[in-house]
Chain A
Amino acid sequence: MNITQLPFIKEIYGFLGHDLTATVTGILIILVFVPLNSAFLVWVERKVAGHIQLRPGPMEVGPHGILQTLIDAVKLMSKEMITPKLADKFLFWLAPIIIIIPAIVCFVVIPFSPLMQVREMNVGILLIFSFSSITVLSILMGGWASNNKYALIGAVRAVAQNVAYEIPLLLSTMSIIIMTNSFKMSEITAAQSPVWFIVYQPVAAIIFFISTTAETNRAPFDLVEAESELVSGFHTEYTGMRFALFFLAEYTNMFIAASMGAVLFFGGWHGPFFPGLIWFVVKVYILIFVIIWVRWTFPRLRFDQLMNFAWKFMIPVALINLMITAIVLKVL
């Protein structure tokens, strides 16, 4: 049965038209999905961390503690939102809002399945890259406005790190884009129907993975919030729901990074037997699991190691990879 024939939906559909209905429904689904996904990922992270350290992780609320993050969210909502006395009040208020908006906007172009994409765009990949760059602005805003030395150091580190790692990220993505001649997420996915791009571009995939880990400020590149040196970095002064928004954005960015990886290198929704949505979600969550696994395996880098790694290793290798790809494509 076609869902658009239901009386109530038919009226809305007739009033708004196809495009607008799809957009509104998609945005509603995204707004529900983002917090649920973050809550689930926080639980997964704590579980994986626990089992790697031979302890069970959260166990008390719900079966195997699955409702723990829900309870934490309720606790955070009930907390007072403190603004430091000497903070820049407006920027302090604005930073958590700015960090969550790009995280949500990026969902718009992610192709969950051949049909499930809120909005098809010619510049889908560029949209994700440009919007996720705004995250840095928000981190700098929050760190600066807090009027706290730890927050400011964390924010400055975030900017340096994100600038450094955005270059190899873009270069590794470029090698895919010159293979497909398209910025469209759906076309890139469609181009990998027999063979995934990780087979053609293993080096680009590794560079992409490392740079997205750095871009989302995850360990071993979490110098931004290095809790042993900087209390908790740029969100040291944030409390309550504002802090929760930073947390939400971190896990949402992780999801976006993983879905980018799935689209660019692991064939998006392609896969046998099951519908595309299941394949896509499974691939994304496996990639997220790898990110979490990396976090609980490796120690944090020193800042000079981080910068050396970006400028002396990642960027040259990404450039060489891009050049080889271009030459091979030209010759073939």
Chain B
Amino acid sequence: MRSLSGLKEYIKEILTGSKSLVIGMGITFKRLFMPIVTVQYPRRKLTMTPNFRGHIEAIYFDDTKSHHCVACGLCVRTCPSHVIKVQGEKEKAGGRKYGQKYYIDFTKCSLCGLCVDVCPEKTLTFSHEFELAYLSRWDGVIDIMRRLEAVTK
């Protein structure tokens, strides 16, 4: 009697086992014809989401045809990693000061975003740059003003 129930169990195991195998094969066969989800990177690139945090960059404003940076230096002083260098100049004595040179050393940047928060003119934002491989450490120094010029042109 006991051996008979053992045989029953054995056959049942075989049947359920083969059924699950067939289901598994069906799943992979369906996936064989599903669209591909990966991107062939150098040929096609993804657009980053709006919240993506690359290195910082200056925002272009239509009223000045440029950025709004006044070279106050708040970002320089706030930066915990000391990666920002800003230089401003006045066009004439007693006139407004505006940022002329803006460099960041991105190799040391921790992407904390304090510079963006602290900016009184709201002229800083995060770029959507994600290809951040450099050949030397000096390539990591990014000229923000030149990037802005390249965008406006």
Contact = CB atoms under 8 A, between A and B. Distances in A.
Interface string B22-41: 00110111011111111010
Interface residues of A, number: 14
A182 B32 CA distance: 40
Nearest to A295: B28
B40 A297 contact: no
Interface stretch (A12-20, A30-38, A49-57, A156-164): A49-57
B21 interface: yes
A293 B35 CA distance: 18
A54 B28 contact: no
Contacts, number: 35
Contacts of B40: 56, 59
Contact of A313 (B14, B34, B36): B14
A44 B3 CA distance: 47
Contacts of A59: 40
A52 B36 contact: no
A10 to B, nearest CB: 50
Given A52-B31, A297-B24, 18 more contacts: A48-B32, A51-B32, A51-B36, A52-B28, A52-B32, A54-B34, A54-B36, A56-B40, A59-B40, A293-B25, A293-B28, A293-B32, A294-B25, A296-B28, A297-B25, A297-B27, A298-B21, A313-B14
B118 to A, nearest CB: 43
Contacts of B24: 297-298
The 7 closest A-B pairs by CB, nearest first: A297-B28, A55-B38, A54-B37, A52-B28, A51-B32, A56-B36, A297-B24
A55 B32 contact: no
B63 to A, nearest CB: 47
A298 B27 CA distance: 11
Interface of B, helix, strand, loop or mixed by DSSP: helix
A294 B34 CA distance: 18
22 contacts: A48-B32, A51-B31, A51-B32, A51-B33, A51-B36, A52-B28, A54-B31, A54-B35, A54-B36, A54-B38, A55-B36, A55-B38, A56-B40, A59-B40, A293-B25, A293-B28, A293-B29, A294-B25, A297-B24, A297-B27, A297-B28, A298-B24
Interface of B: 14, 21, 24-25, 27-29, 31-38, 40
Nearest to B34: A54
B39 to A, nearest CB: 10
Nearest to B30: A52
Nearest to B37: A54
Contacts of B31: 51-54
Interface in A279-332: 293-294, 296-298, 313
Contacts of A55: 36-38
Contact of B38 (A52, A56, A296): A56
Nearest to A48: B32
Contacts of A48: 32
Contacts of A294: 25
Contacts of A313: 14
Interface string A28-71: 00000000000000000000100111111001000000000000
Contacts of B28: 52, 293, 296-297
A294 B27 CA distance: 11
B66 to A, nearest CB: 43
A52 B33 CA distance: 8
B94 to A, nearest CB: 62
A182 B37 CA distance: 51
